[in-house]
């Protein structure tokens, strides 16, 4: 619960009491230290964050399976626009190289063996050598990976609501709890449009605009999100796309005279701290991963 909500609901004089042997703490008592994911898990069982690996091959395989699931989730969400859109995942062993999808394959058909390993110099050094990668995708993703060593995955697609909101060149407002994942400097706006990305300079500008954020709105283009795992980046992309849809619906409603009520900074920061944590975003995506895994009957892992 956000600080202001606590102060509104509970009087500051609330005493410590015992009911049926259970101790009830005052709002001023010291809570146990929990991670955001632990705090969101009620009871003794807790959702877990991403696994730790001692073997590069196992980690690589795991990353690619989750990458394939992200694409299939995108297909189900309706993010397909011809062959526009790409996801990249930094290789766990070769940090100056990343895996990406081949040009011309529907997101809903992608499997582990389809992915291409390309280094920052543009050379294909592993994976699927029978198909080309997306040139624009390489130019964008390579620059983001170079600028952000902390980022292991980058997502970009030409999704409908992201494109529609991008034409205004404005950040998302804190209209809902979900939008607060992009509170403050967590979101950026690249307020320029250099056309189809066919030059290194445009990729550099996008990376510079993103800064240390989690997501960027690329004007007249679409959305871009990043994460420590492909799961985090993919979940943030879907969340940002949905937030763009809500923003557009809210903007349309104001035409009838309704006024938007924004979430105040203190509550927005509280929501951000609770829900934008990398482990939480990873866990959120497992809902989609498990669904796609079951629906594909193992095909996406081939």
pLDDT tens for 116-152 read 999 999 999 999 999 999 999 999 999 999 999 999 9
Q: Which residues contact 298 (CB under 8 A, 6 or more apart)?
A: none
Model pLDDT, residue 32: 59
Model pLDDT, residue 200: 87
Residues pairing with 57 in the sheet: none
Question: Would the pLDDT of 25 be above 70?
Answer: no
Model pLDDT, residue 24: 32
* CA dist., res. 265 & res. 12, Å (int): 22
Model pLDDT, residue 15: 36
Model pLDDT, residue 288: 98
pLDDT tens for 236-274 read 999 999 999 999 999 999 999 999 999 999 999 999 999
Where does the pLDDT of residue 94 fall: very low under 50, low under 70, confident under 90, or very high at 90 and above?
very high
Model pLDDT, residue 9: 38
Where does the pLDDT of residue 195 fall: very low under 50, low under 70, confident under 90, or very high at 90 and above?
confident
Model pLDDT, residue 44: 87
Report the predicted TM-score, pTM, of the whole model to 2 decimal places. 0.88
Lowest-pLDDT choice from 4-18, 23-37, 166-180, 223-237: 4-18
Comparing C-alpha atoms, which of 280, 287, 282, 286 is closest to residue 40? 280
* CA dist., res. 193 & res. 268, Å (int): 30
Where does the pLDDT of residue 4 fall: very low under 50, low under 70, confident under 90, or very high at 90 and above?
low
Architecture of the 56-301 domain:
3-Layer(aba) Sandwich (3.40)
Model pLDDT, residue 103: 97
Residues pairing with 225 in the sheet: 155, 215
Question: Would the pLDDT of 107 be above 60?
Answer: yes
Model pLDDT, residue 3: 53
Greater pLDDT, 96 or 46: 96
Return the HEC string of 176-192: CCHHHHHCHHHEEEECC
Comparing C-alpha atoms, which of 169, 255, 185, 174 is closest to residue 217? 169
């Amino acid at each position: 619960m956000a600080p202001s909500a606590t102060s509104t609901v509970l009087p500051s004089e609330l005493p410590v009491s015992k009911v049926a042997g259970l101790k009830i703490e005052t709002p001023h008592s010291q809570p146990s230290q929990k991670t955001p994911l632990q705090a969101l898990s009620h009871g003794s069982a807790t959702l877990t964050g991403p696994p730790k690996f001692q073997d590069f091959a196992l980690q690589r395989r795991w990353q690619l399976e989750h990458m394939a699931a992200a694409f299939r989730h995108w297909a189900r969400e309706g993010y397909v626009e011809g062959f526009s859109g790409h996801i990249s995942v930094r290789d766990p062993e070769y940090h100056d190289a990343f895996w990406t999808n081949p040009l011309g394959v529907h997101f809903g058909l992608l499997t582990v063996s389809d992915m291409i390993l390309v280094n920052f110099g543009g050379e294909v050094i592993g994976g699927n050598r029978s198909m080309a990668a997306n040139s624009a995708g390489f130019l964008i993703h390579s620059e983001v990976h170079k600028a952000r060593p902390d980022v292991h995955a980058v997502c970009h697609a030409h999704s409908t609501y992201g494109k529609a909101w991008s034409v205004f060149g404005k950040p998302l407002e804190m209209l809902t709890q979900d939008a607060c994942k992009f509170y403050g400097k967590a979101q950026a706006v690249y307020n320029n449009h250099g056309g189809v990305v066919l030059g290194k300079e445009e990729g550099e500008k996008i990376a510079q605009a993103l800064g240390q954020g989690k997501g960027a709105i690329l004007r007249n283009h679409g959305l871009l999100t990043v994460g420590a795992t492909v799961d985090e980046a993919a979940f943030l992309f879907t969340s940002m796309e949905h937030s763009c849809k809500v923003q557009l619906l809210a903007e349309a409603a104001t035409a009838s005279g309704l006024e938007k009520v924004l979430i105040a900074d203190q509550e927005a920061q509280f929501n951000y701290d609770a829900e934008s944590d990398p482990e939480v975003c990873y866990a959120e995506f497992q809902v989609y991963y498990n669904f796609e895994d079951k629906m594909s009957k193992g095909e996406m892992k081939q």
